[in-house]
Structure 1
Amino acid sequence: MLLFVKNMMIASAILPIALLAAAFLCTLVAGFVLLFAVVVMPGIGTLPDRDFLRSFQAIDKVIQGNQPLFLLTWAGSIVSLVIATALSVWQLDGAIRVIVVVAFGTYLIGVQLPTFTINIPLNNRVQTLELDRLDEATLADERYHFEARWNRWNVTRTVFACIVSVLLLIVLVVFHAQ
């Protein structure tokens, strides 16, 4: 019984830290995908096909090259939200618990699922292109099959990431007020 009480106390101490970490890291991810939606892709979108694809390759190479801060932010958002959700289900009740669970589901389905099933496979396709060996028609075709779909799904995950950030900020305010 004493061990159970001690574990409850530890979990109670970890919950606010996990919620804060999840809110912070998920908001950073929201900012990252928002930046791509409103600055990066519109900016490189003005370039000719070869330059557009080369620019995207260079940007994506940094990201998929396991840039440490990016990796910490992206993976940390998932891990911290999993921990915060598990602790919230165990320790919280009512609307605040529901909001955390909704944020978790929204993040997995609205942000991570499209990232891993759509955006990353599209990125990987672009990475395989030997741009200097492609003619203008092939470059235009590759861009056509990449850009609009990638942007559409990036905007989708941006909207969901922003919703998750707002939900987690609401949870922090309500949790702090209790």
Structure 2
Amino acid sequence: MEVTRGLVLIAATVTMGLFAGVFYAFTSLVMVGLRRADDRTFVVAMQRMNAAPGPRFAVAIIGPGLLTGASLLLHLGEDHRSTLWWIVAALLFYAGAIGVITFAGNVPLNNALAAAGDPDRVADLADVRGRFEASWTRWNDARAVVSIGALTCLAAALLSVAVDWP
């Protein structure tokens, strides 16, 4: 059982790293690059990225929640109390990143951008971009910070297992 507990916690940590990495990459690279693009390029790029997620992306988005939840269940009990609290904290950060930030902030903006339609048929791309970019970027920056918090908590959980800390 200890091996299973450890492997699931490692898998949760790795997938949470992917999760945090996606949002950090958007914050530090993608949006910085797109900021310099013209309006049409920006709208086309974001519409295509928002429509592209598939099974590999799902692993990085859904995997951390499932594996962190499984790790939580495997660490229930007195013997794993310090590890358990780190896992609970990670799950709360993850829920905030997905449930609050993504679904309350980013997804409605993505849907509005998709509803704007084909960029070749949009009369005012600057207006479409203006209603999307700054707000979406702020939500994503928050999502990056919160998901890094989740990753940090899982790293602390691993540390608590490895060296009985704290």
1:103 aligns with 2:93: no
1:85-139 deviation per Cα after TM superposition (whole angstroms, max 9, x unaligned): 222234644432222111111110134421122112211221222211112xx32
d(CA) in 1 for partners of 2:79 and 2:129?
A: 48
* Ranges of 4+ aligned residues in structure 1 off by more than 6 Å: none
My pick for the range that moved more, 71-80 or 31-40, is 71-80
Aligned counterpart, 2:17: 27
2:147 is aligned, of 133, 158, 161, to 161
My pick for the range that moved more, 90-99 or 149-158, is 90-99
> What aligned pairs does 1:127-142 form with structure 2 within 5 A after superposition?
127-128=114-115, 129-135=117-123, 138-142=124-128
d(CA) in 2 for partners of 1:91 and 1:76?
A: 26
Higher Cα radius of gyration? 1
Coordinate RMSD, CA, aligned: 1.7
d(CA) in 2 for partners of 1:162 and 1:148?
A: 21
Aligned counterpart, 1:86: 73
d(CA) in 2 for partners of 1:94 and 1:62?
A: 40
Q: Taking structure 2 as the reference length, what is the TM-score of the superposition?
A: 0.89
Identity among equivalent pairs (%):
28
Rate the CA distance shift 1:84–1:91 in 2: closer, same or farther, 3 A. Answer: farther
Aligned counterpart, 1:41: 31
> What aligned pairs does 1:112-151 form with structure 2 within 5 A after superposition?
112-128=99-115, 129-135=117-123, 138-151=124-137
1:173 aligns with 2:159: yes
Rate the CA distance shift 1:92–1:104 in 2: closer, same or farther, 3 A. Answer: farther
Aligned partners of 1:111 and 1:160 also within 8 Å: no
Equivalenced residues, count? 163
Segments of structure 1 that go 5 or more residues without pairing to the other structure are 1-8
Code of the aligned partner of 1:160: V
1:56 aligns with 2:24: no
Aligned partners of 1:111 and 1:158 also within 8 Å: no
Q: Taking structure 1 as the reference length, what is the TM-score of the superposition?
A: 0.83
